[in-house]
Amino acid sequence: MNQIPIRLRVALAFALVSAVVLAALGYFVYARFDSELSEQIDQSLRTHGDDIASLVAHRDLSRSVELLGREESFAQVLTPDGRIYATTPQLGNDPQLTPAEAARAAQARSSTRLRASRAAR
């Protein structure tokens, strides 16, 4: 190490510190955008879910194009055993989830409600 010129040692130290700072900054920016994006997607899905729930309450998914917009103009509501409860014309009569996936989704939804009600106490 004594035979390496001081200029080279300073340059290497500066390069190492710069790399660490850039990596840390990059990770911070990535984590921040990831968190914000996840929150925005979750909020958007909750809003669309509420819209669909109100349509299902009236058994009128045909109006979904007006409420959900052009990009998400389709929806399908399944029973816990995987049968179609309500659907938009674009999806037809084919369930988009298997019966096992529908049961798992219903189970996750009920456990989420249970956790939320316990947290509210």
- Sign of the C-alpha dihedral computed for residues 40, 46, 47 and 49 taken in this order: positive
User: Is residue 13 pLDDT above 80, yes or no?
Assistant: yes
Cα 82 from chain centre: 22
Q: Which of 7-11, 100-104, 110-114 has the lowest mean pLDDT?
A: 110-114
pLDDT of the residue at 26: 96
Could you tell me the pTM of the whole model?
0.47
User: Quick one: pLDDT at residue 17?
Assistant: 97
Residue spans per domain, the chain: 1-73, 75-121
Report the number of secondary-structure helices (H) and strands (E) in the chain. 3, 2
Instruction: Report the chain's mean pLDDT, rounded to a whole number.
Output: 77
Contacts of residue 97, defined as CB under 8 A and 6 or more positions apart, other chains included, come to 78, 82, 105
- As a dihedral over the C-alpha atoms of residue 105, residue 108, residue 113, residue 117, rounded to 10 degrees, the angle is 180
For residue range 37-85, list pLDDT tens digits in order.
888 988 888 887 787 777 777 766 655 555 555 555 677 777 777 788 7
